[in-house]
């Protein structure tokens, strides 16, 4: 009787170990959607569901903020916040008055990627979580930067 109990115990332990290994293999290859910021000489990767792009409008000299949501391999421009109407203001959004001196507009426009022309003049910066990426300090004036959502293995979180 004792031998049967030991055999069952080893068998259960072996099954548990195999199940844990299988689960770890599945998790290891399960991709997540990361935000890639592609600069001329490097790519910055971060894992976040939302991020903002902030800049100073070149004509009006007022702050603009666009908020994006990551959905699969798409980026959704969910809203934009600005001080005054002028060149570049979307015409198809829903305006929300929050009484803070800014115009808040809901957009919800799906995009494959974002192509930015960065300059010192507008101080373009990406904000996510409690971090910021000052693009204008990282590239030469009028260089292009692309932002996209890309599926990568989950362990890329460890690189952040």
pLDDT tens, position by position, 70-118: 998 999 999 998 887 666 666 677 778 777 878 888 999 999 999 999 9
Whether residue 6 lies inside any domain: the answer is no
Whether residue 2 lies inside any domain: the answer is no
**What's the domain count of the chain?**
1
Q: How many angstroms separate the CA atoms of 32 and 54, rounded?
A: 25
Whether residue 108 lies inside any domain: the answer is yes
> What is the sign of the dihedral through the CA atoms of 90, 91, 92 and 97?
positive
Q: What pLDDT is recorded for position 152?
A: 79
Task: Provide mean pLDDT across the span 6-15.
Answer: 71
Q: How many angstroms separate the CA atoms of 103 and 125, rounded?
A: 20
- Residue 73 phi/psi, 5-degree rounding, is -90, 15
What sections of the chain are H helices per DSSP?
Answer: 2-29, 135-138
Q: Rounded to two decimals, what is the model's pTM?
A: 0.78
Whether residue 3 lies inside any domain: the answer is no
pLDDT tens, position by position, 131-147: 999 999 999 999 999 99
Whether residue 145 lies inside any domain: the answer is yes
- What is the domain range of residue 153? 31-159
Position 5 confidence tier, pLDDT thresholds 50, 70, 90? low
Whether residue 16 lies inside any domain: the answer is no
Q: How many angstroms separate the CA atoms of 124 and 64, rounded?
A: 10
Whether residue 144 lies inside any domain: the answer is yes
Whether residue 8 lies inside any domain: the answer is no
Task: Provide mean pLDDT across the span 61-74.
Answer: 93
């Amino acid at each position: 009787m004792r031998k049967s109990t030991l055999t069952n115990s080893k068998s259960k332990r072996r099954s548990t170990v195999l199940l844990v290994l299988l689960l770890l293999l599945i998790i290891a290859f399960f991709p997540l959607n990361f935000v890639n910021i592609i600069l001329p000489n490097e790519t910055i990767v971060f894992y976040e569901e939302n991020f903002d792009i902030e800049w100073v409008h070149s004509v009006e000299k007022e702050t603009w903020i666009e908020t994006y949501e990551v959905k699969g391999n798409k980026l959704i421009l969910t809203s934009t916040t600005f001080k005054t109407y002028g060149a570049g203001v979307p015409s198809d959004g829903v305006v929300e008055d929050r009484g803070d001196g800014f115009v808040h507009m809901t957009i919800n426009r799906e995009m494959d990627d974002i192509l930015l022309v960065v300059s010192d003049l507008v101080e373009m910066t990406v904000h996510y979580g409690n971090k910021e990426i000052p693009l204008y300090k990282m590239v030469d004036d009028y260089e292009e930067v692309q932002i996209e959502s890309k599926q990568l293995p989950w362990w890329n979180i460890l690189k952040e």
